[in-house]
Amino acid sequence: MKSGSNLEKVLKGGHFAVTCECGPPRGPNPDDLIGKIDHIKGFVDAANVTDNPTASVRMSSVGASAILFRHGVEPVMQMVTRDRNRIAAQGDVLGAHALGIRNMLCLSGDHQTFGNHPHAKNVFDIDSMQLLHMVRTLRDEGKMDNGDPIDGKMGMFLGAAANPFADPFEFRVIRLAKKIAAGADFIQTQCIYDMDRFRKFMEMARDMGLHEKCFILAGVTPLKSLGMARYMNRSVPGMSIPQRILERMKGVPREAQAKEGIRILLEQIEELQQTEGVAGIHVMAIEWEEKIPEIMERARLIPRPQVD
């Protein structure tokens, strides 16, 4: 065991894992967060806590992750290199560990020009790959990036993101391999709509044996409406929604679109469960956490396994 986290145990136990996303609040008050925790508690194996998502200021992911931990949902603490250099990053990892956090997702982060402080200076001292490598060194070798020893031992289940839909496509699997080589124990992908392309991606990953070197959690996001589908297709870089799905959303009246979105999601989950090398799903129900129980129930993914 690298961390002893629940997520690690579920995956290593051969179960189809479920994670979801839990965005921290836009203020100092934890109440809303606790509300979200209540929605998802018992329905997922762990929940990602985003780190100033889309470069907009939120409660820190270290702090919010600690709250999740305290309230009985295992956090996957996200950490972006945009806002911290290697000094801050290592310090935060150590602090997070002390607060009981055992999963983290290493990211570069969205560019600050997309966020609410576009005039900020970014850091990007290291990239996500280098962050993975650094935290693994802390964990496995007990050394900081500069080689200095740390006092005591540290466990952390290391995750990384993969986007099978960005370009250059052929490089995507190579990049995945690099992340695994740098230290990723699990991967969460960008949300998948284009199943054909994802299947191709998985095929390439399997060819390289990557599915055996780490756990791949397929990202999914329920579509709330046709408008949202169109928006994501048009404006989110590296995301494409197949015409077939757009047509399906278009085919139902507006009030029924959310329902249709969930139906599509359930079909997808079913297919993903059949896909070799997919070890679980990561449900990104952005500001729609309350739907998690329903989705899990309808996908017959509850109760969640208890592994010891």
Minimum Å distance from CB 62 to another protein? 21
What residues form DSSP beta bridges with 217? 188, 280
- The answer to the question of residue 154 lying near another protein (CB under 8 A) is no
Binding-residue total with another protein (CB under 8 A): 36
Q: Which of 78, 62, 176, 189 has the alpha carbon at shortest distance from 129?
A: 176
Assess whether the previous peptide bond of 222 is cis (omega < 30° from 0).
no
Distance, CA of 250 to CA of 260 (rounded, Å): 10
- The answer to the question of residue 174 lying near another protein (CB under 8 A) is yes
Among 122, 225, 273, 275, binds another protein (CB under 8 A): 122
Residues 6+ away with beta carbon under 8 Å from 278: 202, 211, 216, 217, 218, 272
- The answer to the question of residue 134 lying near another protein (CB under 8 A) is yes
82: tokens are: 């945009």
Of 1-9, 16-24, 71-79, 172-180, the segment contacting another protein by CB under 8 A is 172-180
Assess whether the previous peptide bond of 30 is cis (omega < 30° from 0).
no
- Smaller CB distance to another protein: residue 171 or 231? 171
Of 61-69, 123-131, 263-271, 277-285, the segment contacting another protein by CB under 8 A is 123-131
Among 15, 71, 86, 263, binds another protein (CB under 8 A): 86
DSSP state of 255: G
Residues 6+ away with beta carbon under 8 Å from 140: none
Of 29-37, 92-100, 178-186, 259-267, the segment contacting another protein by CB under 8 A is 178-186
Tell me which residues in 1-20 interact with another protein (CB under 8 A): none
Minimum Å distance from CB 53 to another protein? 14
- Smaller CB distance to another protein: residue 151 or 170? 170
Among 190, 221, 257, 268, binds another protein (CB under 8 A): 190
Among 57, 124, 194, 200, binds another protein (CB under 8 A): 124
26: tokens are: 């836009």
- The answer to the question of residue 52 lying near another protein (CB under 8 A) is no
Among 32, 38, 145, 271, binds another protein (CB under 8 A): 145
* Residues 217 and 188: beta-carbon distance below 8 Å: yes
Minimum Å distance from CB 133 to another protein? 7
Residue holding tokens 């989110």? 236
- The answer to the question of residue 167 lying near another protein (CB under 8 A) is yes
Among 181, 209, 234, 244, binds another protein (CB under 8 A): 181
**Residues of 224-258 as b/e, b for ≥16 C-beta within 10 angstroms?**
bebebbeebbeeeeebebeeebbebbeeeeeeebb
Residue holding tokens 């136990």? 13
Taking the CA of residue 42 as centre, how many other CA atoms within 13 Å lie in the half-sphere pointing to its CB?
7
Binding region for another protein (CB under 8 A) = 82, 86, 108-111, 113-114, 122, 124-130, 133-134, 145, 161-163, 165-168, 171, 174-175, 177-178, 181-182, 190, 237-238
